[in-house]
Structure 1
Amino acid sequence: MKDEEILMALLAKDEVVFDSVIKQYSKLLWAVAYSILGKNYPSHDVQELVSDVFMRLWRSPEKYEPSRGSLKNYLALITRSSALNKLRRKAIFEYEEVCLEEELQTPVQHPEIWTAFLVSIQELKEPTKEICIQRFVYEQKPETISRLTGLSKSEVNNRLYKGKRKLRQLMAKQLMKGEF
């Protein structure tokens, strides 16, 4: 089947064709993702990324343009891009986590930072609030928080990432007010 025919079938939501695309390209996409993520991620995260690429194709087949290249290359590029983004998010998350943890390590030396944190964390919505408390107050690892909350580890990491960004903003406002 030619790429144009596959596209037409996907636009018509033909599940049989979609299944054949998955069978044909799964190993390739897994290899592309694994070559970037390597041993930094467990195999189920690599598989989840590949599944997300296929779901992206299923939801928006119109984004694929056969005139610009083959379906194989299109899927490989999406996989590569997604894997690189995942790697970047992890690096940013780890850097910000270290920075925030260093700020919160010394409540006695910097009580205003600790107070701003405690006031700011109350403004977060659940479950992000609970996740941030578990991580930054009780120093729980994301894996442990995942088990406690019933959320996936990637969801916990995403909420930590977004929660830290929000906490930084809220803490900056609190510290600028100078009420402590």
Structure 2
Amino acid sequence: MEDKEIVAKMIAKDFQGLEGLIDSYGFAICQTIYRVLNHPVEASYRKEVENEVFYKIWSNSLQFDSTKASLKTWCLTITRHLAVDKKRQVIRQLREVPSEILPEALAWQEPLGKEDFLALVAILSPEDQLIFLKSFFFQDKPGEIAKDLGLDVAVVSNRLARGKQKLRNELLKEGRS
């Protein structure tokens, strides 16, 4: 089934459109979810995110604009955003922030609470947030992060360095150095 036909059927609320979407892009959607929610603590949320993704695509099919992106790109963007949101939610649900979450250069006198940490990391771009959290929260190595996200190790290392600098600058601005 072609993308135009899939979208037309979903707009008409014909379940064949959803079936066509799943047949065409279901594997890529699931693969994206697994890349973002790749830790054992997050495994139980994968099916939930998958259902949320298909529901969101189904209910927002009128918003798809083929002049802005392909159907696959549009679906994978929705998928990535929902998966990253779930990852943030899982991190917030954890009872404590690991004690060595930030490098020593970012140490301060008062301990940083979980919500403060997540608010601080929120100044980064969504992809940099994911890289930063995978590195400092889940203790993934740059090579593992690069493999998970399909990036070069050098790109991951550069983004980590830039992220640390942004966080340092933000803490200095707030007077928490």
TM-score, normalised relative to structure 1: 0.48
TM-score, normalised relative to structure 2: 0.49
Q: Which of structures 1 and 2 has the bigger CA Rg?
A: 1
